[in-house]
Chain A
Amino acid sequence: MDRYPGTRGLAFREALLWERSRKGRIGLSLPEQDVPRSELDAGLVGDGPDLPELSEVDVVRHYTRLSTWNCGVDTGTYPLGSCTMKYNPKINDRVAGLPGFANLHPMMPVECIQGALSLMYALERDLLEITGMHAASLQPSAGAQGELAGMLMIHAYHAHRGRQRRKIIMPATAHGTNPASAALCGYSPVPVQLSQDGIMTPEAIREVMDEDTAGIMITNPNTLGIFESHIAEIAKIIHEKGGLVYGDGANLNALMGYADVEKMGIDVLHVNVHKTLSTPHGGGGPGAGPVVVRDVLEPFLPVPRVVKDGDRYTLSSDAPLSIGRLHSFFGNFAVLVRALAYTRTLGKHLKDVTEMAVLNANYVKAGLKGVYNLPFPQPSLHECIFNDAIQRKQGVTTLDVAKRLIDFGYHPPTVYFPLVVDGALMIEPTETESKADLDGFVEALRAIAGEAAANPAMVTDTPKNTAVARPDEVLAARHLILRGETPQ
């Protein structure tokens, strides 16, 4: 066998649901009609949705086939930079599905939910232990909502101090969602000059920070994978002018066991549990984006909060400065169960997780240096960013390299992000990839660089073995088809 997996195999065609539909089929088991029928006023009753009509077998075949057109971490290496696609342990899913959790109604009396509250409390403690922060809320539903929670807290903090501010400092190396989250709070972003090394300097911050600036949004390590080594001094400058420091925790996988978030001067940090804490991404959520804060922001945390009183847990909304509620109930509990299973399984070995994540990224970086252009050769942590500057001369772009990689059996890295690198190929292997997988991945990328030099068409006319070839995205956007035909 080659050192990389490659692709070959069987892909069934599969129609859309309603193309399989036959009038009169029902896939659902209906319970016995053991109570009398009660008729609603005819004026209230509708015709019923035009849903497809299928048997249970139809449904099982349909989704089983669709699943084979997908690619997950369980299928193979998934080195999406900034996404931390690590292995999702199966014990986590098992405990999340325990009937005592899955079947627990959220509006039960507090005596009936002690187990759930104790679990949430335990996870909060673990997040504080890992980050070094002071207090936590598990309520945000995803990283971006955690970010919003953080910005709302900063906004509420300034409002409480009696003078709102209008701006927020935002380096080009911040995450894509940061400007939109800040805009929801009415803050306009102020750019900041990066040094030659791809990081922010205290001088540059001093130049832009003033008393009309609410604070700064920092991703550390930044989206170039480089640690912001001046962070403590930068935070000091921000704090001296009355601002606060928001930390984007998307890259926390690079820091566990090494850095102390509070010592960095960060006031609020969100944690992407579907990145660092191994909960499955599910093809686009649900995730969870807990926030951890320094003491100064604790009064502003979302409510309700889990409170421990002796052996008893309660939910408290007694927090006049709180930003309020963010979730229909208390957060994405089933996701949080998985996160706690992960922190409890790894424990102090979370430091090994970070070490192996950084080792793997640097191993890939060493293997590709010289073959692909490395715009920032500085030491980097859990991810490395190359671009297509060498291949572009042959007419081969980052997109082509990504698509060709699929033929070799690998999910492509993140492409064209971060924006500070033109044609970026952002690789984050994570700690759970073996050396053999990394060797295969590096070798595949080296082979593609060879093809690009010798015969560019081998790279540009790809992928070849997937369920579909490159879709026409321009057609999709110009002639919108966002829903299919109804069945009958």
Chain B
Amino acid sequence: MKTFGELDIRKDLSYTKTHEWAKKTDRVVRVGVDDYAQSALGDIVYVELPSVGAATGAGAAFGSLESTKAVSDLNSPVTGKVVAVNEALSDSPELINASPYEDGWIVEIEVPDSKEFDALLKSDAYSEFVKTLDEEHQ
């Protein structure tokens, strides 16, 4: 697992305390898991994806990630409707390890407004949060 110094935490994204990132373009929020999550889980072997059209609630699980040793829920950062899923993950779950922010994106959720998105952690606050987790682990 990466140490805090090795982690790539992107400035232009918003985050949850359960390590999902979110990026909003117009009314669509793209969601993935961050470098901390992929490194903590290790080699991801399976992604359980929702179907397009499914409703998501902020903080509720919409899918899961499996490594050989662990399984982790994917929690939606926002309430809305799934409008796209990254089908490439079905055959290549390793994309999440290799490229958590680009090729390894997971779903796109259409939201009615930006209230929930705006309330997510910004990268500075999220970095601080991850730093405390890292200190606990060491």
Q: Do A and B interact directly, with beta carbons closer than 8 Å?
A: yes
Contact surface of A with B, Cβ cutoff 8 Å: 416, 473-474, 476-478
A474–B45 Cα distance when bound, in Å, is 6
The residues of A that contact B93 with a CB separation of less than 8 Å are: 478
B91's nearest neighbour on chain A, judged by CB, is: A478
Residues of B in contact (CB 8 Å), total 9
A473's nearest neighbour on chain B, judged by CB, is: B68
Kindly supply a per-residue 1/0 record for chain B positions 29-51, scoring 1 wherever the CB is within 8 Å of any chain A CB and 0 otherwise. Answer: 00000000000000101100000
The residues of A that contact B46 with a CB separation of less than 8 Å are: 477-478
B92's nearest neighbour on chain A, judged by CB, is: A478
A195–B45 Cα distance when bound, in Å, is 36
The residues of A that contact B69 with a CB separation of less than 8 Å are: 416
B103 in the interface, Cβ–Cβ < 8 Å? no
B110 in the interface, Cβ–Cβ < 8 Å? no
Instruction: Write the nearest CB–CB distance from A262 to chain B, whole angstroms.
Output: 38
A473–B45 Cα distance when bound, in Å, is 10
Kindly supply a per-residue 1/0 record for chain B positions 43-70, scoring 1 wherever the CB is within 8 Å of any chain A CB and 0 otherwise. Answer: 1011000000000000000000011110
Instruction: Write the nearest CB–CB distance from A15 to chain B, whole angstroms.
Output: 27
- State the 5 A-B residue pairs at the shortest beta-carbon distance, nearest first: A477-B45, A474-B43, A473-B68, A478-B45, A477-B68
Could you list 16 A-B pairs, sorted by A, with CB under 8 Å? A416-B69, A473-B68, A474-B43, A474-B45, A474-B67, A474-B68, A476-B68, A477-B45, A477-B46, A477-B66, A477-B68, A478-B43, A478-B45, A478-B46, A478-B93, A478-B94
A478–B91 Cα distance when bound, in Å, is 8
The residues of A that contact B66 with a CB separation of less than 8 Å are: 477
Interface centre among B43, B46, B66 (most CB of A within 10 A): B43
> Given A416-B69, A478-B46, A478-B93, 9 more contacts at CB 8 Å?
A474-B43, A474-B45, A474-B67, A474-B68, A477-B45, A477-B46, A477-B66, A478-B43, A478-B45
A287–B46 Cα distance when bound, in Å, is 32
Instruction: Write the nearest CB–CB distance from B124 to chain A, whole angstroms.
Output: 29
Instruction: Write the nearest CB–CB distance from A53 to chain B, whole angstroms.
Output: 36
A477–B66 Cα distance when bound, in Å, is 9
B97's nearest neighbour on chain A, judged by CB, is: A474
The residues of B that contact A416 with a CB separation of less than 8 Å are: 69
Q: Give the contacts of B88-137 with A (CB-CB under 8 A).
A: 93-94
Instruction: Write the nearest CB–CB distance from A373 to chain B, whole angstroms.
Output: 14
A422's nearest neighbour on chain B, judged by CB, is: B137
A416–B45 Cα distance when bound, in Å, is 20
The residues of A that contact B43 with a CB separation of less than 8 Å are: 474, 478
A77–B94 Cα distance when bound, in Å, is 39
A71–B93 Cα distance when bound, in Å, is 35
Instruction: Write the nearest CB–CB distance from B49 to chain A, whole angstroms.
Output: 15
A157–B68 Cα distance when bound, in Å, is 38
A476's nearest neighbour on chain B, judged by CB, is: B68
B94's nearest neighbour on chain A, judged by CB, is: A478
Instruction: Write the nearest CB–CB distance from A422 to chain B, whole angstroms.
Output: 8
A488–B64 Cα distance when bound, in Å, is 40
A477's nearest neighbour on chain B, judged by CB, is: B45
A425–B67 Cα distance when bound, in Å, is 21
Instruction: Write the nearest CB–CB distance from B104 to chain A, whole angstroms.
Output: 14
A477–B68 Cα distance when bound, in Å, is 7
A416–B68 Cα distance when bound, in Å, is 13
The residues of A that contact B45 with a CB separation of less than 8 Å are: 474, 477-478
The residues of A that contact B68 with a CB separation of less than 8 Å are: 473-474, 476-477
